[in-house]
Amino acid sequence: MPSRSVLLSEAFKSHPVHLHHKHADFSSLQELPDSYAWNQPDDHPSDRSIFASKSIPVVDLNDPNALKLIGHACKTWGVFQVTNHGISTELLDDIESAGRSLFSLPLQQKLKAARSPDGVSGYGVARISSFFPKLMWSEGFTIVGSPVDHFRQLWPQDYSKFCDVIEEYEAEVKRLAGRLMWLMLGSLGISRADIKWAGPKGNFKGASAALQLNSYPACPDPDRAMGLAAHTDSTLLTILYQNSTSGLQVLREGTGWVTVPPIHGAFVVNVGDLLHILSNGLYPSVLHRAVVNRTRHRLSIAYLYGPPSSVKISPLPRLVGPGQPPLYRPITWTEYLGTKAKHFNKALSSVRVFSPVNGLADVTDHNTVKVN
Ligand SMILES: C=C1C[C@]23C[C@H]1CC[C@H]2[C@@]12CCC[C@@](C)(C(=O)O1)[C@H]2[C@@H]3C(=O)O
Ligand SMILES: O=C(O)CCC(=O)C(=O)O
Ligand SMILES: [Fe+2]
């Protein structure tokens, strides 16, 4: 561990986003305001692809072949769903209803817990909003560390029961994340000895994470609106719970946008940018987005899981060799979040090592134009 550890919550100190004037009271909007109309013909939610014939793999964690199935899903899709993961449907119901209570508070109340421009936690629009000229039809609440201060502002009387649900959910999903890490890495031949930062018990005790509650209100003109614009996650992996309303889509090369159908009690697990780096490019970090719905409110809860914040992540030595040079330079999670805040979807290529073979430019050559 480096002596000076930079917390995840510090990641955006040098990349503040000022979006406060953009909070909307969706329930009062009967028509889609122009500021929410994403009418680019080639990246339009209305090209939402059918439940494609080849669909996202579903893996039962009790299946003796789970390791192999997960490895295959990670290589080919970068995303899969898991069932029999050990987290009770009661806890899922509890976290969903906590999310619902939060987003159904009056806007003025939610704004009391607004995310500060250089902070990570609190209520607000997606951080990536600053890269797009149009607004997204969603609101979010990010939790890093204890939610108690913000929850006290939201629910001065009964914040503690909501804190308990969040804490219980985080503890359970953290355990699942550690288990999934070993399955995802195990199928690449990686074992405990290869990842020192997983700790002596191999339980990734020092891992960092953010919990992102996303709310997508019913929308008067869903075909022209965008819930959450296409992005990859800056994580090792993300564990997503979605309610029974569909909306999540992943981009599959050669197919287009594929809807991830909600399965009651299941989680969607996707590879993030840091696992792509760790796997030396073997696992793709999947591009995904959320579209919205005319009649139904949609809720999703993403557990964005990463390494201890100051551990340098680089391609695993076991996956590097004479024919497989390391494709990425070492970077900490906190540094990567800063890079993402600056370069957005070009962040990953900005970490890519210069090579005369792949012809990619070094990070110093990277200039991304930010649309505000
Ligand atoms: C630990 C994370 C990961 C963050 C930033 C920070 C807290 C919130 C996460 C998200 C959640 C919503 C999509 C995203 C793209 C966004 O705008 O905020 C994510 C982003 C990332 O994966 O880069
Ligand atoms: O709402 C969804 O299904 C997607 C959420 C997401 O991609 C995220 O929070 O990173
Ligand atoms: Fe995401």
**pLDDT value at position 208?**
95
Domains in the chain, ordered, with CATH?
4-13+47-350 (2.60.120.330)
Angstrom distance (rounded) from CA 311 to CA 206: 10
Tell me what ipTM this predicted complex has. 0.99
The torsion angles phi and psi of 210, rounded to 5 degrees, stand at -125, 145
- Compute how many other C-beta atoms are within 10 angstroms of the C-beta atom of residue 369: 6
Task: Report the nearest-CA residue for atom 3 of ligand 2.
Answer: 248
Packing angle between helix 66-76 and helix 159-186, nearest 10 degrees? Answer: 90
**pLDDT value at position 357?**
55
**pLDDT value at position 363?**
41
For a substitution probing ligand 2, which of 141, 246, 288, 345 has the most ligand atoms within 8 Å of its CB? Answer: 288
Of residues 17, 14, 18, 35, the one with CA closest to residue 26: 35
Angstrom distance (rounded) from CA 222 to CA 218: 8
Q: Is the CB of 300 under 6 A from ligand 2?
A: yes
Per-residue pLDDT of the chain (372 residues; tens, 9 = 90+): 443 567 888 888 888 877 655 778 888 888 999 999 997 545 554 444 554 557 999 999 999 999 999 999 999 999 999 999 999 999 999 999 999 999 999 999 999 999 998 899 999 999 999 999 999 999 999 999 999 999 999 999 999 999 999 999 999 999 999 999 999 999 999 999 999 999 999 999 999 999 999 999 999 999 999 999 999 999 999 999 999 999 999 999 888 999 999 999 999 999 999 999 999 999 999 999 999 999 999 999 999 999 998 899 999 999 999 999 999 999 999 999 999 999 999 999 999 997 665 555 444 333 333 333
Angstrom distance (rounded) from CA 338 to CA 351: 12
Question: What DSSP character marks residue 83?
Answer: E
Spell out a b/e string for 1-38, using b for 16 or more CB atoms within 10 Å of the CB, else e: eeeeebebbbbbeebebebeeebbebeeeeebeeebeb
**pTM of the predicted model as reported, rounded to 2 decimal places:** 0.93
**Which ligand 1 atom minimizes the distance to the CA of 214?**
12
**pLDDT value at position 4?**
53
The number of residues in the chain equals 372
Task: Report the nearest-CA residue for atom 8 of ligand 2.
Answer: 302
**pLDDT value at position 3?**
38
| Element of type H or E holding 81 | strand 79-83
In the chain, the amino acid numbered 4 is R
224 included as an active-site residue: no
Ligand 1 neighbours (beta carbon < 6 A)? 120, 126-128, 142, 210, 212, 231, 233-235, 304, 337, 340
- Residue 288 Cα to ligand 3 midpoint, Å, equals 6
Strand partners, 152: none
Angstrom distance (rounded) from CA 131 to CA 163: 32
Angstrom distance (rounded) from CA 113 to CA 103: 12
